[in-house]
């Protein structure tokens, strides 16, 4: 027997950020029937990596691989493993197939709407007298109800579809196992909905386009990785020139981020700031707060350089039709300051900016909440969730 192999899937990657106790219920659905009897054909419990793990969270990829495998044809799955493409089919394929099985015609183009259509279809089939105000609030309970009462649910599925589908059993060698995939997909939908509600809870934009500019080595790429993955590599590579990035869904927050360009902080890029932030909903300017307050011999004029850039932003962006946009300034590297300076960093930087006679002071005096200081290196969701959320609330808050 070949080991389970997760097929890279952006629609299931978010499981990496789901707590182990939440994944434990998904494991039950994948490995046992509603009477808590083990499926002999399941592979998850037999995988040594899973058996040796004490927390399902550490094996989220194996759990996802098991779901992908149950959704695929057994023989095709075998070929996929041999050629190292993963154990089964993608979540999008699983969902489309499951929608057909329950007889729900969906013309949705995006994943969120398809998932809504799927759980509404399952809800309608499952309950003759549905609980009041149930729909949309207890998707995981719906998943468990179908899992525990599979025969009742299956009887209500369209006959035309049922005739094409093999009944579940240990003798099945081909075809998806809907007794497992349908409640599992529902449970995944419930997990995703709860995760996406994290952004709602903290009043964070659900869709955003970003214009990220700033000083050299100030944390622009680090922030982008924190937004994308919730964490960063120990040694981030320095950005040179322009590095385009594709649209992505933030793993921790579940929000959608439009594609853009990660640009280096060199002086040559300053004159292009306006085009970089054109049509962007949120503009973020990064600088090194430690160097601003306590420069070393190599950058004694760092604060002056920052203010020069602030002046350019004020003249070419803030005043030139962009004032209605949200421009935020993020000072990084405060971990390199002494504790007293760390605590006072924001106030000291703010005072130095609004006390100047320069026009850019208006950007801060008119909006005192436009400045934020942080230690990006330790703002990872797993290290310091509170600081991570504070950073995201500041930069992406409604």
Q: Which residue has the higher pLDDT, 165 or 378?
A: 378
CB-count burial class (<10 Å; 0-12, 13-18, 19+) for 304: exposed
CB-count burial class (<10 Å; 0-12, 13-18, 19+) for 238: exposed
In angstroms, the CA 257 to CA 22 distance is 26
Q: How sure is the predictor about 105, in pLDDT bands with cuts at 50, 70 and 90? A: confident
Residue located via tokens 């594609």: 259
Q: Residue 108 is encoded by which pair of tokens? A: 């949705």
Comparing CA positions, the residue from 228, 185, 24 lying closest to residue 91 is 185
Task: Encode pLDDT of 303-354 as tens digits.
Answer: 999 999 999 999 988 887 655 568 999 999 999 999 999 999 999 999 999 9
Q: How high is the mean pLDDT of the chain? A: 84
Q: How sure is the predictor about 8, in pLDDT bands with cuts at 50, 70 and 90? A: confident
In angstroms, the CA 149 to CA 155 distance is 10
pLDDT for 72: 45
Q: Residue 148 is encoded by which pair of tokens? A: 């525990």
Task: Encode pLDDT of 19-65 as tens digits.
Answer: 888 899 999 999 998 888 888 778 888 888 888 887 888 899 999 99
CATH fold of 207-396 reads Rossmann fold (3.40.50)
In angstroms, the CA 189 to CA 179 distance is 16
Given a cut of 80, whether residue 174 has pLDDT beyond it is: no
Comparing CA positions, the residue from 192, 193, 101, 190 lying closest to residue 153 is 101
Q: Tell me the average pLDDT across 197-209.
A: 87
Q: How sure is the predictor about 182, in pLDDT bands with cuts at 50, 70 and 90? A: very high
User: Which DSSP symbol is given to 84?
Assistant: T
- Contact predicate 182/102, CB 8 Å: yes
pLDDT for 319: 83
Domain residue ranges of the chain, discontinuous segments joined by +: 13-201, 207-396
Q: How sure is the predictor about 173, in pLDDT bands with cuts at 50, 70 and 90? A: very low
Which strand (E) or helix (H) includes residue 190? helix 178-201
Task: Encode pLDDT of 211-232 as tens digits.
Answer: 999 999 999 999 999 999 898 8
């Amino acid at each position: 027997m070949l080991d389970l192999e997760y097929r890279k899937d952006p629609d299931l990657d978010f499981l990496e950020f789901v707590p182990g106790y939440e994944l434990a219920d998904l494991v039950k659905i994948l490995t046992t029937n509603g009477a808590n009897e083990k499926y002999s054909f399941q592979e998850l419990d037999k995988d040594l990596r899973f058996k040796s793990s004490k927390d399902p969270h550490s094996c989220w990829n194996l759990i996802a691989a098991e779901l992908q495998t149950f959704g695929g044809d057994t023989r095709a799955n075998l070929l996929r493993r041999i050629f190292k493409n993963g154990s089964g089919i993608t979540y999008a394929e699983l969902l489309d197939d499951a929608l057909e099985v329950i007889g729900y015609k969906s013309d949705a183009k995006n994943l969120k709407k398809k998932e809504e259509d799927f759980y509404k279809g399952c809800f309608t089939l499952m309950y003759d007298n549905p609980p009041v105000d149930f729909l949309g609030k207890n998707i995981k309970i719906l998943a468990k109800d179908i899992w525990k009462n599979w025969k009742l649910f299956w009887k209500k599925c369209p006959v035309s579809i049922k005739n094409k589908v093999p009944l579940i059993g240990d003798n099945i060698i081909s075809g998806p196992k809907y007794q497992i995939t349908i409640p599992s997909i529902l449970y995944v939908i419930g997990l995703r909905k709860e995760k996406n509600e994290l952004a709602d809870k903290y009043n964070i934009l659900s869709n955003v386009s970003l214009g990220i500019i700033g000083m050299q080595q100030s944390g622009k790429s680090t922030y982008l990785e924190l937004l994308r993955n919730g964490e960063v590599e120990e040694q981030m590579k320095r950005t040179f020139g322009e590095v385009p990035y594709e649209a992505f869904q933030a793993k921790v927050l579940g929000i959608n981020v439009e594609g853009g360009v990660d640009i280096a902080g060199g002086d040559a890029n300053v004159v292009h700031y306006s085009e970089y932030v054109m049509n962007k909903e949120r503009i973020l300017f990064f600088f090194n707060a430690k160097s601003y307050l306590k420069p070393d011999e190599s950058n004694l004029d760092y604060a002056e350089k920052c203010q020069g850039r602030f002046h350019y932003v004020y003249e070419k962006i803030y005043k030139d039709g962009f004032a209605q946009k949200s421009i935020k300034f993020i000072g990084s590297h405060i971990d390199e300051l002494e504790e007293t300076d760390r605590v006072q960093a924001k106030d000291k930087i703010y005072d130095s900016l609004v006390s100047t006679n320069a026009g850019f002071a208006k950007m801060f005096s008119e909006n005192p909440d436009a400045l934020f200081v942080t230690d990006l290196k330790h703002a990872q969701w797993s290290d310091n969730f509170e600081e991570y959320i504070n950073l995201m609330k500041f930069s992406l808050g409604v």
